[in-house]
Structures are given as C-alpha cells and as structure tokens.
Amino acid sequence: MSDSALIDAARDFNRFYTNFLGVLNKAYLDTPFTLTDARVLFEVGSQERLSAVALVRDLHLDAAYLSRILKRFKAEGLLETTPDPDDRRSQLISVTDRGREQFQELVRRSNAQIAGRFDKLAAGEPQSIVGAMKTIRSLLDPDATLPPLVIRPHRTGDMGWIVESQAKFYSEEYGWDMRFEGLVAEVAGRFLSTFDPAMEYAWIAERGGINIGSVLITNGGDGIAKLRLLYIDKSARGLGLGKTLVDECIRFARAKGYRQISLWTNDILSAARNIYLKAGFQLVSEEKHRMFGPELNGQTWILDL
C-alpha cells in the first residue's frame, strides 16, 4: 500500500470517526453538560488531582474558557481547587463527592452507548475493535501506558482461545498442520473434563481484557506434574512472561507435593527451551516425528522437585 493510499485511508477513517464520535457524544445531550464540560469532568474525575494548565494542554482548550467552566463547576460544588504548594500561581483541581457522582453518571451513559454498539456485534468483534483501538492508540500516543498484565486462573472460553491462538501461531510460523490444533484441543478438552482443582491449575495472562499467555499443570499420576500448553502471544514476548508462568508452575507443583514436572516440546522452539533450561529442567529424551507435518525433534524435559 502506497504512502498516499495510507494517508487517504487514514483521512477517510478520521472522517468516519468524527461522525461516529458525534453520535456517541449525543449521550451527554440530556445531561446539564456540554461535550466540553463532560470532557473536563472526565479528565478531572479520572486523574484526581491535576492543574488547570494540564487540562488546557491535554484537552486543547482555551484557558479563558476553561477558567469559566471551572468556576461554574466550583459554584455547583462539583469540583474544588487547592493552591499548589509548589507553585502558588497554580491550583490543583479535584472532584468533590457530588462531582464524583456526576462523573460516574457520565461514565454510565458513555458505557451504555458503547455497550449498545457492541451488542449488535458478533462474538469476538468487540475484542477485535478494542484490540485495533489499542494498536492505534499505542502508536499515536507515545504517552499511553499499557494496562497492567494480570495472571489469573482460567475461565470459560480460555481453552478455546488457547486452541485458536496456538494453532494459528504454529501454523503460520512453522507450518504445522491441523493435527496440532487437534492435539491442543484434546489436551485442553481433557483438562476441563477431568479437572481436579486440588492438583491441577491453568494460568492465563491477560492485559486489558485480552489474553496474551497461558500454561497448564495437569496430573500425570505417580507424583508427576505435566506442564502443558505454554504459550506467549507475539505482543507479549520478551517481557519474561514465559519465565513467570513456568515459575508459577514450579511453585504450584512443589506446593502440591509433586516430585517431578515433565513436559514435551519441540527443539525448534528455542525461546521456550531457554526458559526450561534456566528453570533447571533436563532433557531426558528426544525423538524425530512428523505428527504435525514437517519433521520435528520432539523433546521430553524433566525437573526434579
């Protein structure tokens, strides 16, 4: 795609999104607030203590205009200002309890608007949209901070996500065929069907509501814990997430009294192999196979606990 085609597409999107936001912002029409009022309240409500200059900068408002808005909000008891102890020209703005209520009302309305849009979409589409929004934001807004990475137990739909994302990744990257997806689905399915909360666990890493990593411990019998389906999404590589997940597995296996962790992998997956090596796993056997199409070196690794 040529540069000018990209620019045209972006301009077109902006035109579209200007309209779209125009519609969404009608949500504020039957509140006592104008769009600018709402934006100010949003900003103050979200950030708690900030100065007027910061607002002028962030929202690109006229200082005189903002001054009047703040004055009105103060008169209505929505905001209060305290002089900045470090710079007595400046004042720090924060919401009062009443202001917080109004802010939350705005959030509710705004959320309802968005939820209304999302309701009309197919399953997974909101995720696609939000994912795309995050892409745009992270590239256009250098200050954007990533939402925190959370590691949590599995819940409904996670195993499906594991099957889909692993299948797609290994297919694209290494040309593995659908038998691999079949294996993953069977492993994931058996895990859920025979799940023993006392001895088994699944860790899902997510960021901002989007899954980015996984690992399972299943009970292999004879005091052996099996580590399975370790996977880190492209977007989260290089953060040490793989190590974190494997460490969680080891801690869990120790706590549950397993005497050994075993896992099966393939030698071309070097990032994973490094994690296992560093965690103290030892390679115990290796065999060539063609389970997924291309010839691979399957490896079994073991860690004595």
Binding site for DNA (CB under 7 A): 34-36, 51-53, 56, 61-65, 67-68, 70-71, 81, 84, 87-91
Binding positions for a copy of itself, 40-79, rule CB under 8 A: 42, 58-60
Which of a copy of itself, DNA, none does 90 bind, CB closer than 5 to 8 A by kind? DNA
Which of a copy of itself, DNA, none does 155 bind, CB closer than 5 to 8 A by kind? a copy of itself
Single residue of 91, 127, 262, 300 touching a copy of itself by CB under 8 A? 127
Single residue of 29, 63, 146, 178 touching a copy of itself by CB under 8 A? 178
Q: Which is nearer to DNA, 74 or 273 (CB)?
A: 74
Contact 167, 184 (CB under 8 A): yes
Q: Which is nearer to DNA, 49 or 108 (CB)?
A: 49
Binding positions for a copy of itself, 215-274, rule CB under 8 A: 233-236
Q: Which is nearer to a copy of itself, 16 or 264 (CB)?
A: 16
Stretch 129-168: interaction string toward a copy of itself, x if CB under 8 A: xxxxxxxxx-xxx--x--x------xxxxxxxxxxxxxxx
Which of a copy of itself, DNA, none does 76 bind, CB closer than 5 to 8 A by kind? none
Which of a copy of itself, DNA, none does 129 bind, CB closer than 5 to 8 A by kind? a copy of itself
The Cβ of residue 247 has, within 10 Å, a number of other Cβ atoms equal to: 13
Which of a copy of itself, DNA, none does 48 bind, CB closer than 5 to 8 A by kind? none
- From the list 67-75, 88-96, 126-134, 265-273, the region that binds a copy of itself by CB under 8 A is 126-134
Which of DNA, a copy of itself, none does 94 bind, CB closer than 5 to 8 A by kind? none
